[in-house]
Amino acid sequence: MKITEQEVRRVADLANLALREDEVARMAQDLGGILSHIDKLNELDTTDVEPMAQVLFDAEETATLREDRERPSLTNAEAVGNAPVTSGGYYKVPRVIER
Amino acid sequence: MSSPLHELSIDSIRAGLLAKKFSAEELARQSLAYAEAENPKTNAYLTLSPERALTAARAVDAKIASGEDPGPLAGVPIAVKDVIVTRGLRTTCGSKLLANYVPPYDATAVIRLEQAGGVILGKTNCDEFAMGSSNENSAFGPVRNPVALDRVPGGSSGGSAAVVAQETALVSLGSDTGGSIRQPASFCGISGVTPTYGRVSRYGLTAFASSLDHIGPFGKTTRDAARLLQAIAGRDEMDATSAFAPVPDYVAALDGNLRGLRIGLPREYFGGLESETGDRVTSAVEVLKKLGCEVRDIGLPHTPYAVAAYYIIATAEASANLARYDGVRYTTRSASAKTLSDMYRMTREEGFGDECKRRIMLGTYVLSAGYYDAYYLKAQKVRNLITRDFAQAFQQVDAIVAPVSPFPAFKIGEKVKDPISMYLSDIYTITGDLAGIPCMSVPCGLTAEGLPVGLQIITRHFDESTMFRIADAYEKASH
């Protein structure tokens, strides 16, 4: 299966990756190779097969509901402690809207 | 110098502590010193945590001094894969993006280990965000296999397997999404366990592919691995996908009695093996027969489609899970970005390694407009077929035995240029993750070159007990 460099750029945009030119070319080749292997799935007729999103086990419908009670959460300092840039207890990012 | 842990097990450490032969603090200090001296050979630890280890060890000693039960893992030196968060202790996920990330909370598995008396020595190297089969995708350099230093330890939990083989920790925690515990266990000659999906809480495990991710233990012996699983298994309200099923006494199941147990050999798992790997697995099956197992051929006909289905599902989920590494909350940020959009794009471009980018791209592609039915939905249907294969097999047999990997540990650099051949090497482990059933690797001998081979044991959902019983009886019979 062939993936064009244009398609790679479109997908990189969706994924918020600023790929370099040399990466675009290699990615086109790598993805093409992997997708060719993946084409193997078309050998199987899956018309009447239910899709399986998750491994599910029997449990009561309300099993995952819990009591609504107060419990400690992260402090503001902990929550922003790993951010590269903060200001006044907030995450700070570059300007979004130009005036 | 031999490791202070060389002759020890979880049970013998507990017995030694209670008999006052040594203290937990002494053992922790010796183990830390040994790990610090030996680690440069393998690069298996990324971070040692002496302060945390000694605090935990002293707490164990204090309990013993006051006559309290110090817990089932009392004083046991443990290493934790660096995708599992530890409060106040750097957790990198093997990624440059998180080189300085210090989590504000502990994973549930970590809390449970320490509550049981475990002593965390440090955090282990791994493929970036657990994506890889060789530990060559770490931003902090590859891990070397302690058995053969020019070879990979397997991946992605390569560091966690290496520390146990190198005896710089007694046991460790890894994570498995497509084989990342069993394959490194087999490459390093130790036991590694992928429990039933949902058996161990993933709260605090950095998400890679949420419908496939597991936390599981490594140990020199099955008994140690079973003890470790015992301590971390069970429902956790912080992880809605963790299972309610009661946790049986795994060690009580190690009674050595395999008489009449029906074992299936899936013919699809014996086609593409290197001959020595096949020979070791076949010899192990002979041992199981001598122990009274009834062995028969079975079919798992959709096995050849597993890698394709897996690389759609896992990358689709990964592309969503890795969206959070954007330069805002946890990660480093690109210095050159002037706008918000460039900040996302350049932080991710500069921060992610090649394999992560490849998987983010593939996952984004298969989920993009117009492709969903052809790829993601199709893969989910095939996942169902693979799961049904196992359900049907388990109507005829109690356990399935197979190789873990088609070949033993390969040389560092040997496969890095060929992602597809690297992916295909996970063929025998991926199926168990897709079905969510418990599976483990137990050592079954060496090749002529001295490289370990692993025997895979697979059982029904939540039947870890039978899996451990077989592995333990085999281990004892083959030594």
Q: Are B83 and B177 in contact (CB under 8 A)?
A: no
Q: Using a CB-CB distance cutoff of 8 angstroms, which residues of chain B are in contact with residue A64?
A: 240
Which residues numbered 273-332 in B keep a CB inside 8 Å of some CB on A?
302, 304-305, 307-309, 311-312, 319, 323, 326-332
The two tokens of residue B461 are 């959902």
The two tokens of residue A2 are 């062939």
- Please enumerate in sequence order all residues whose Cβ is within 8 A of that of B336, keeping only pairs 6 or more positions apart, or say none: B342, B346
What is the per-residue pLDDT for A9? 98
The two tokens of residue A83 are 């951010």
d(CA B242, CA B203): 9
What is the per-residue pLDDT for B54? 98
Q: Can you give the CATH number for the domain in which A33 is found?
A: 1.10.20
The minimum CA-CA distance between B231 and chain A, rounded to whole Å, is 22
Q: Is residue A39 part of a domain?
A: yes
Q: Is residue A14 part of a domain?
A: yes
The two tokens of residue B123 are 């955090």
Whether residue A85 and residue B333 make contact (CB cut-off 8 A), yes or no, is yes
Whether residue B380 and residue A51 make contact (CB cut-off 8 A), yes or no, is yes
Whether residue B419 and residue A11 make contact (CB cut-off 8 A), yes or no, is no
What is the per-residue pLDDT for B56? 98
Residues B167-189 have pLDDT tens digits of: 999 999 999 999 999 999 999 99
d(CA B152, CA B168): 18
Number of domains within chain A: 1
- Please enumerate in sequence order all residues whose Cβ is within 8 A of that of B348, keeping only pairs 6 or more positions apart, or say none: A15, A16, A17, A18, B325, B326, B327
What is the per-residue pLDDT for A17? 97
Residues A37-94 have pLDDT tens digits of: 999 999 999 999 999 998 988 778 788 788 899 988 999 999 999 999 999 999 999 9
Length of chain B measured in residues: 479
What is the per-residue pLDDT for B78? 98
Residues B240-296 have pLDDT tens digits of: 999 999 999 999 999 999 999 999 999 999 988 999 999 999 999 999 999 999 999
Q: Which of B156, B160, B319, B405 is the catalytic position?
A: B156
Q: Is residue A54 part of a domain?
A: no
d(CA B468, CA B114): 23
DSSP class of residue B84 equals: B
The two tokens of residue B341 are 């959009």
B238 inside 8 A of chain A by CB: no
- Tell me the pLDDT band of B1, cut-offs 50, 70 and 90: confident
Active site residue B81: yes
Asked if the peptide bond before residue B211 counts as cis, ω within 30 degrees of 0, the response is no
- Tell me the pLDDT band of B424, cut-offs 50, 70 and 90: confident
Which residue, among A7, A8, A55, would best test binding to B if mutated, counting the most B CBs under 10 Å from its CB?
Answer: A55
The two tokens of residue B64 are 């013993």
Whether residue A44 and residue B387 make contact (CB cut-off 8 A), yes or no, is no
Handedness of CA B35, B38, B161, B93 (dihedral sign): positive
What is the per-residue pLDDT for A1? 77
- A·B CB contacts under 8 A: 161
- Tell me the pLDDT band of B369, cut-offs 50, 70 and 90: confident
Asked if the peptide bond before residue B201 counts as cis, ω within 30 degrees of 0, the response is no
Which CA distances in Å does B323 have to B207, B328, B344, B352?
11, 11, 9, 11
Q: Is residue A68 part of a domain?
A: no
Residues B132-167 have pLDDT tens digits of: 999 999 999 999 999 999 999 999 999 999 999 999
Residues B464-473 have pLDDT tens digits of: 999 999 999 9
Mean pLDDT, range B428-449, rounded to an integer: 98
Q: Is residue A87 part of a domain?
A: no
What is the per-residue pLDDT for B479? 74
Residues B78-88 have pLDDT tens digits of: 999 999 999 99
B10-253, what's its fold? Amidase signature (AS) enzymes (3.90.1300)
Whether A99 has a pLDDT exceeding 80, the answer reads: no
Bridge-partner residues for B218, per DSSP?
B172, B192
Q: Are B241 and B205 in contact (CB under 8 A)?
A: no
Domain ranges of chain B: 10-253
Whether B446 has a pLDDT exceeding 70, the answer reads: yes
- Tell me the pLDDT band of A96, cut-offs 50, 70 and 90: confident
What is the per-residue pLDDT for B209? 97
The two tokens of residue B237 are 């309200």
Q: Name residue, tokens 């560092």.
A: B412
Q: Is residue A18 part of a domain?
A: yes
The whole domain housing A30 covers: 5-43
Name which of B340, B357, B461 is nearest A93 (Cβ-Cβ). Answer: B340
Q: Is residue A52 part of a domain?
A: no
What is the per-residue pLDDT for B148? 98
Mean pLDDT, range A8-14, rounded to an integer: 97
